[in-house]
Amino acid sequence: MGWMHGFQSDDSALLPIRDRVLAGSRLTSEDALALYRTGDILAVGWLANWVRERLHGDATYFNVNRHINPTNVCVAACRLCAFGRKKDAPGAYTMALEEAFETARSGYTEAVTEFHIVGGLHPDLPFQYFLDLLAGLKERFPQVHLKAFTMVEVAYLARRAKLSVRDTLGQLKAAGLDSLPGGGAEIFSDRVRHIICDHKIDGDEWLETARLAHSMGLRSNATMLYGHVENDEDRVDHLLKLRALQDETGGFQTFIPLAFHPDNTQLEHLPKTTGMLDLKQIAVSRLVLDNIQHIKAYWQMLTSKIAQIALRFGADDLDGTVIEEKIYHDAGATTPQGMRRQELVRLIREAGRWPVERDTMYRPVVRTEASVTVAV
C-alpha cells in the first residue's frame, strides 16, 4: 500500500499509524509514543505533511506583529526562565504606561496588525494598570488586535485583584483584550512542573483558565515547552490534554511547540534541543492535535533554517515579524530579534509554499504596494 501514497518506512510500528492518518482517524497515546520513539523522521514528516496539505494546501501563514513585554519583574522565579527578575534585581524593569505606549509606537507602522503582550508576575502593579494598558493601546491603535496575557498571568491578576478568573477576563475583555497567547502551559505533568516552574499555576488551572476564556468568546493559543527534563510520556500527556479540551471548546487557534533554551537559566547544564527533535515535535503535534487548525513553527526559537524545513514537516505558520523579542534572547537565542516581512515571504517561497499574511484570527491581510513598503 505504501507506494500508493509515497509513504515508506522500515519501522513497522508506523504502519498502523499511517493507516489511521490516511483514514482521518484519531491517533492514540500509544501511536503518539511510537512517533516520538521512531528514528524514521522522514516517515513521520511525510505523514504530518500529508495532514498539513490536506488542511491548508501550500498556504503558509505569517503576521506583522510587535511584542511588548511591560515588565520582567516576576515573583515566580521559574528555573526554565531567563527573563524574569526579582523587583530590585539588576536589569529589572517595569514600563510606565506612557513607556508601554511609546514602545508600541516605536515598532508601529501601518502594517502592524497585532500586539503580543506578555510579562512577569509583578507583585505590586495594580489590576488597573493592565486595564489602562489595554484601553490606552486600543485608543491609540484601534485597528491592532491585542493578544495579551497568558493563562498564568490571568490567574495571577485574578488572585491579586481578589476577583474570580471569569470577572478578571471579563474586565480585561471590556478594556480591549481580543485574544490570549499560548504561553505558560510548559508541560502539564506535576512532576516536571515541580522542577521547571514550581510556583506557577498547575496544569489543571492552566486548562481551566483556558476553558473559561474560550467559554467567554476569547480565543487563545496553546504552547508546550519541550527539550528539558520531560519524557515522551509527559509530552504525549500534554498533547492529549490539549486535544481533549479542544474537543470541548474549539477555542484554540494555534499550537506552538517551544524548544527549551537553557542559557542563563537555572537549567543551564541541560543541552539545547537538536534539529531532529525540533522537527519531530512539529510533526507529532500536527498528527496528534487533529482538532487544532494551525501548527506554528516559531522562527525566533527554532531558527529560521529549521522553521523553514518545518513547513514540510507539518507546520503552516511562522508567527511574525516580532520586532523585539526578549524572552528567548535572555535565554541565549542567537536569532535576530525581528524579521522583515519580505524576508519571511522569501523563506516561505523557498520552501515551495504560498505566503499568506494573516491577522490574528487568520483572516488574510491584503496589502497594496504602498502598505507593503512601509511594512517592517
> By CB under 6 A, what part of segment 196-235 binds ligand V47?
221, 223, 225
Q: Give per-residue burial for 234-256: e unless 16+ CB within 10 Å, then b.
A: bbbbbbbbbbebbeeeebbbbbb
Are 103 and 326 contacting, i.e. CB atoms less than 8 angstroms apart?
no
Residue type, 158: A
Closest alpha carbon to 147 in 331, 320, 315, 366: 320
- State how far the Cα of 309 lies from the Cα of 104, in Å rounded to an integer: 32
Is 178 a binding residue for ligand V47 by CB under 6 A? The answer is no
Q: Mask of contacts with ligand V47, 122-161, x by CB under 6 A?
A: ----------------------------x-----------
Residue type, 42: L
CB of 218 to ligand V47, least distance (A): 13
Residues 6 or more apart whose CB falls under 8 angstroms from that of 10 comprise: 40
Q: Tell which one of 107, 120, 181, 314 touches ligand V47 (CB under 6 A).
A: 181
Closer Cβ to ligand V47, 18 or 85, answer by number:
85
**Residue bearing cell 535576530:** 336
CB of 80 to ligand V47, least distance (A): 5
Are 223 and 257 contacting, i.e. CB atoms less than 8 angstroms apart?
yes
What is the DSSP track for 295-333?
Answer: EB--HHHHHHHHHHHHTTTT--EEEE--S---HHHHTT-
Closer Cβ to ligand V47, 31 or 153, answer by number:
153
> By CB under 6 A, what part of segment 309-338 binds ligand V47?
319, 327, 331
CB of 146 to ligand V47, least distance (A): 13
CB of 239 to ligand V47, least distance (A): 15
Is 81 a binding residue for ligand V47 by CB under 6 A? The answer is yes
CB of 207 to ligand V47, least distance (A): 15
Burial class of residue 332 in the structure, from the number of CB atoms within 10 Å of its CB (0-12 exposed, 13-18 middle, 19+ buried): middle
Q: Tell which one of 258, 289, 297, 356 touches ligand V47 (CB under 6 A).
A: 258
Is 184 a binding residue for ligand V47 by CB under 6 A? The answer is yes
CB of 131 to ligand V47, least distance (A): 21
Closer Cβ to ligand V47, 28 or 337, answer by number:
337
Closer Cβ to ligand V47, 6 or 91, answer by number:
91
Is 100 a binding residue for ligand V47 by CB under 6 A? The answer is no
CB of 288 to ligand V47, least distance (A): 19
Closer Cβ to ligand V47, 18 or 280, answer by number:
280
Closer Cβ to ligand V47, 47 or 297, answer by number:
297
- State how far the Cα of 345 lies from the Cα of 338, in Å rounded to an integer: 14
Closer Cβ to ligand V47, 13 or 92, answer by number:
92
Q: Tell which one of 17, 47, 74, 82 touches ligand V47 (CB under 6 A).
A: 82
Cβ neighbours of 140 (radius 10 Å): 12
Part of the chain binding ligand V47 (CB under 6 A), chosen from 51-59, 135-143, 257-265, 283-291:
257-265
Q: CA dist 149 to 34, 214, 272, Å?
A: 35, 14, 27
CB of 371 to ligand V47, least distance (A): 23
Q: Tell which one of 133, 169, 256, 289 touches ligand V47 (CB under 6 A).
A: 256
Q: CA dist 264 to 267, 270, 287, Å?
A: 8, 11, 33
Phi/psi-derived region of residue 364, left when phi > 0, alpha when psi is between -120 and 50, beta in every other case? beta
Is 260 a binding residue for ligand V47 by CB under 6 A? The answer is yes
CB of 147 to ligand V47, least distance (A): 7
Looking at the chain, list the stretches that DSSP marks H as alpha helix, in order from N- to C-terminal side: 2-5, 15-23, 29-37, 41-56, 97-106, 127-140, 151-161, 165-175, 190-196, 203-215, 232-249, 275-288, 299-310, 327-330, 341-350, 369-374
Q: Which residues bind ligand V47 (CB under 6 A)?
A: 80-82, 150, 181-184, 186, 221, 223, 225, 256, 258, 260-261, 265, 298, 319, 327, 331
